[in-house]
Each structure stands twice: as C-alpha cells, then as structure tokens.
Chains A and B, each alone.
Chain A
Amino acid sequence: MNATLRNTWTVTLHELTDSIRSRRAIVLLILYALNAVVATLIFVKVLHEMENQFEKVVGVAQAEKAGGTTTAMWKNRHFRELISHLVGNKETAEKLLETPPLALFFGWLSFFYTPLLVMLMSASRISEEIWSGSVRFMMFRTSRLSWCVGKYAGQALQLLVALLLSGLAAWITGWCRMAFFDPGANAAAIAIFSLKAWIYGIAFLGLATGVSQFIASPNVATAVGIIVMILFGVLSMVAEWVTRQPWQEILNALDLLVPGGHKMDLWLPDVAHAGVAAVFLLALGAAYMLAGYARFSRRNL
C-alpha cells in the first residue's frame, strides 16, 4: 500500500481508538442517542395530543397510543393533495408522504443538531494537538496531509456511528411508544436519513477540521467554528428571503458555497437531486478541510 494511504488509515484508526479511550466518542454517542430518544418522546407526545384533539373534533374514540390517526391521515387523498400543493411538486410530495412521520421527524432533527454537535466535538481536534505540542511527535513520521486527512476520516467514521446509533434509538423509542408503527419502513427511512445527515454533517466536519488547522487554541477554534456555522446559516436564510436583483443572484451563488444551500436537495428522495447535493456537500467538506490545510501545511509547529 502506498505510504501516504497507509499512514492516513493508521491515523484514522488511531483517531477512533483515541476517541474511545478519551471517552470523547462515548460522550458523542450518548449525546446523539439521548437527543434522539428525548426528541422522539416529545414528538410522540405532541403527535398524540394533536391526534386526540383531532379525534375530539371529528367525534371518534381517542386512541391510547399515538400514530393511528396520523397513519390514516397520511393515507388520505385530500391530505396528500394538500401536501402536494404545499411542496409545489406532486412527485416530491408523494415521495415524502411515503416516508413514515417518525422518520421525517428524525431527519429534520438530525439535520438540525448534527452541525452544532460536529462543531462542539471536532473543531478542537487538531488545534488541541498543536496547542499541547503532541503533533510534533508525528510530523517527522508522516506527512502533514496524511495526518490531517486521517483525523478527518476518523471523525467522519465516528459521526456515522453516532448518527446510526441515534437512528436506532429513535426507532426503538417509536416502536415502544407508537400504536401504528411499521418497523421495516421506519428502519429503512431512518437509515436513509441517517446517511443523509451524515453527508450533511461531513460538510460541517470539513469546516470544523479546517478551522482547527487555522487556530492553535482549542477553545478559540470551537468558538470560531460555531460562529462561522451560524454565519453560514444566516447566509442561507438571507439568500432565501432576498428577491431584489442582482442581490438574489449573488446570494444564491454564495449559498452554493455553504452546506445550507444544498440541504433541501439532499432531503429530496430522488437520486438526481439528492445525489448532486451529496456530491456538492462532500466536495464542500473537502474544500473547507483543504483550505485549513493550506495554512497548516505552512505553519510552524
């Protein structure tokens, strides 16, 4: 095996084992799983309340558990037409409506919290090694690039495990708490959303790794990572709101350079949209990481 690839893989494995030893990975997994369980419980409770209200209005018997009315409503022709109208694309709406509600909720939840957790857990990973000087024990053993890419890949694998575990936690919670729960359909849809959230998270992981290479202080790196993440979010929101030309064109072009600009396409079930968005997001992650590397490759350690 090529020495660069071999060393990248060695660093990736070490990143995983080091995270487990330092309990960083355990904290990450607990945070993701706990978040999924609590949010799913809240979702099921709110859904149950809404169904009870609905059942009271239409005068039918109230169910003990959530999910029954929603499942019926989900299959209702008028409701589906309404959603098609709201989404603006019948095919997309139909595809989304084929997704179980719990999986949709899980997808929304994962896309919401993954960027923040990535910033909290990963933006300090390289900077803390620069800060402590432990990076010096490695830089005469391997190239700076293979070390950085190895750290990035190790973090990406941890994120994947965390998201799959949180999906499993949400699935178990839904299975326990919902009356009408299709285990197979929910498992498949949650797995797909876990993978999509992972791809979305990888773009932010690239940002976190990039910032971590720029800034030697772990705390400052985390703070800067979160600030940049918020600024990216603001840019996507503004790009959506502004309709005045030429600002709309400019903002839309800039929006393509941030993960939020590809989020909705990744949500869509068709491969044409989601696939292109996935490629864009992976490329953005790599670009952010390499932008940081441009600084790291020249910095004094």
Chain B
Amino acid sequence: MNTALELKGVVKTYGSRRALDGLDLAVPHGTIFGLVGSNGAGKTTALAVTVGLLRRNAGSVSLFGEGPFDPSRHAGRVTLLPQDSRLPLHARTEDLLWFYGRLQGLAEGALRESIDEVLEWVHLRDRRRSPVRTLSHGMMRRLTIAQAFLGRPELVLLDEPMSGLDPREAARIRAILKRRHDAQTVVISSHNLHELETLCDGAAFIEAGKLVRQDSMDTLTRRSRCVTFFLEPAGQPLPMEELKKTLLDATWEQALDGAELTVRFLEEASRAVDVNARVLEVLLQHGVGVLEIRRGSALESEYFSATDSHASSVTPLPPPGSATP
C-alpha cells in the first residue's frame, strides 16, 4: 500500500502518563482519513508528533516513506490545523498567509494565486485586509483551515476542523474537502462521526493511545454488506418467510422494538442496490411502512462496539437528585 503517513509503535509520554502507547497507523495516499477516539485518546498528540511539534519517546514516523518530519524535506508538503492554537492577532489576514506561504518556499506568483484560492474557499476574500483580531471566532477558524491548504500540500492534518463553524460554512468546507479528495491526503480528527462517515474513505479508532481498529469506511460501516430499513409503525408483523426467500444467504435482524430491520448479506453474492429493491418490494406488497433506508451501519455504532471495552471503565452519571457519593 502506498502510504502518505505511517506510525509504528509510537509512544509519547507526559510524565508518567502515556498519551500514545505504541500507536500504529497507516494512512493511504490520496485518501481522506478520519481519526476517531474519545477525549484524551491521543488523536491530537498523534498529529503533533507527525509534524514534529511533540517529540516521541519511541516508535517511528514516516511521511511518504521518507522518514520522520524534516523541515528541509517536508516543509510545504505537510501542513497542520492545530486544535487550540491562536493565530497572531496583529497580522492582517492576507499578510499572515503571505508569511506562511513564503516560509513554505512558495514563489510570489504561486503564493498570490494560492492565497486567493484558499480565501475564496473559506469566504474570507472580503476580509483579506482585516487584522486577525477583528475576525469573529468562526472566521478565525476558517482562516486556520485556509492556512492548512496554502500551497496545495500533499498531506493535510486537520484537528477538529469544523468546531466553531456555523452549519453553512461547515457544509461548504466538507464540500471543498470532498472535491480535493484525489489531489491530497487529508487526515481529520473529529468527534463528529456522522461528518467523518460522509467524508472519509477510511478511519482509525484510537483509544488510550492505541489503535483499536483501522479500515476503509466501506468495511467499517459494512456499506456493501448491510442495509437497514426503518419501519413505521414499529412492531408490525413482517413477512419474514417471503423475505428470506428473496435472499437465501442473508441474515435478518429485527430490532427489539420492531422499528428496524437489518439485512446482512455476502458482498460477493448480492449488490446493496439489488437487496434494497427486492426487500422493499416485499415489504411494500405487505403494506409495511418504510420510513428510511440506510446502507451499512452507522460509524458511531461501529465505533461503540469496537471500543466497548475501553468505554466500560467510564462511570455512568448518577440519576438526577441522587446524593453524591
């Protein structure tokens, strides 16, 4: 596999605490890749170690198969949107991007074009002469996204890129990320699993500084092997015998409340679109109300099931009104 980023057994400690505990990760070249994990799982640390902001205690990092981050080789080819970092407030938007671009080694003409392009993406062209301190929180966030795409880097690392963005801007950034899909490798760390599910080609679940699972989004969510039908009203009798005849190799699961019917099938035997057509036909013939059809399972439920053992140590909140122990 042609990897843009590979981490092997990376360990990063803060005192006695292990933020990364032998993390392995391989991000395929040219993909949009999601990092999923609970707070403190090590996602931000992994990104910071990748670009050398944090020093690792053990393990190896390789960018484009060329070894760890080295400014002389990778400056301008790898960029980062850090999570909790403030831009210099006195600089003007355009001047700041100009400064960053020059540091990346961009020539004046290319840099001018690139600044126009990224400011257009993030809707800040009209604020190009504004000092950063006059921008709203959301605008500053957009500017940090813009700096990450300056000069068309090969690998872009985004730590919680959509936090603080209004829904319209978030949708716009998602569209931009999708469009750039083939040109660059983009790694996104986010808690918004629905967003990652729609954006990413692959994802890794990280917990307690370790990789729990990594795969393509299709495999993780079983998009090509599973279709779920949301039924209304819940609990109505289903024509199971007839349904089973339509797909002999499939397995059928009905939710306890009867509101969902999940069909799992062999990828080699059937295509999701055919399964959908056949099952839907039977359901409609028998007057079963179908509200929604979803291909695959939600990334969220896959993440929960993959990381249950890590989450089980979390103490549930006491019910309202109960005494604090």
Contacts and interface: CB of A to CB of B under 8 A. Distances in A.
The interface centre, meaning the residue of A10, A17, A22, A136 with most chain B CB atoms within 10 A of its CB, is: A136
Contacts of B69: 140
Contacts of A300: 48, 53-55
A138 interface: yes
A129 B88 CA distance: 8
Which of B74, B86, B144 has the most chain A CB within a 10 Å cutoff? B86
Nearest to B103: A141
B75 A141 contact: yes
Contacts of B48: 136, 300-301
A81 interface: no
Interface string A1-35: 00110110011001001100110000000000000
Contact of A134 (B53, B85, B95, B105): B85
A73 interface: no
B30 interface: no
Nearest to B151: A141
B102 interface: yes
Interface in A107-148: 129, 132-134, 136-143
Given A3-B72, A133-B84, A139 B100 contact: no
Given A3-B72, A14-B99, A134-B86, A141 B104 contact: yes
Contact of B85 (A18, A132, A143): A132
Interface residues of A, number: 26
A136 B53 CA distance: 7
Contacts of A14: 99
Contacts of A77: none
A140 B79 contact: yes
B152 to A, nearest CB: 14
Interface in B36-67: 48, 51-55
A133 B85 contact: yes
B80 interface: yes
Main secondary structure of the interface of A (DSSP, over half): helix
Given A21-B131, A133-B85, A301-B54, A140 B75 contact: yes
Nearest to A23: B90
Contacts of B103: 7, 10-11, 138, 141-142
Contact of A143 (B72, B84, B99, B144): B72
B88 A298 contact: no
Nearest to A297: B55
A140 B99 contact: no
A140 B71 contact: yes
Contacts of A6: 105
A139 B53 contact: yes
Given A10-B103, A22-B90, A140 B80 contact: yes
B51 to A, nearest CB: 4
Given A136-B82, A138-B103, A18 B55 contact: no
A14 to B, nearest CB: 5
Interface centre among B85, B88, B100 (most CB of A within 10 A): B88
Given A7-B103, A142-B75, A143-B71, A136 B91 contact: no
Interface string B162-185: 000000000000000000000000
Among all A-B residue pairs, the 7 with the closest Cβ atoms: A133-B85, A141-B103, A22-B90, A140-B51, A136-B82, A21-B90, A143-B71
27 contacts: A3-B72, A3-B75, A3-B105, A6-B105, A10-B102, A18-B91, A21-B131, A132-B85, A132-B86, A132-B88, A134-B85, A134-B87, A134-B88, A136-B53, A139-B52, A139-B53, A140-B52, A140-B74, A140-B79, A141-B71, A141-B79, A141-B103, A142-B71, A142-B75, A143-B75, A298-B55, A300-B55
Given A3-B72, A137-B85, 13 more contacts: A10-B102, A11-B103, A17-B95, A18-B90, A21-B91, A133-B82, A136-B48, A137-B147, A139-B53, A140-B79, A142-B103, A300-B48, A301-B54
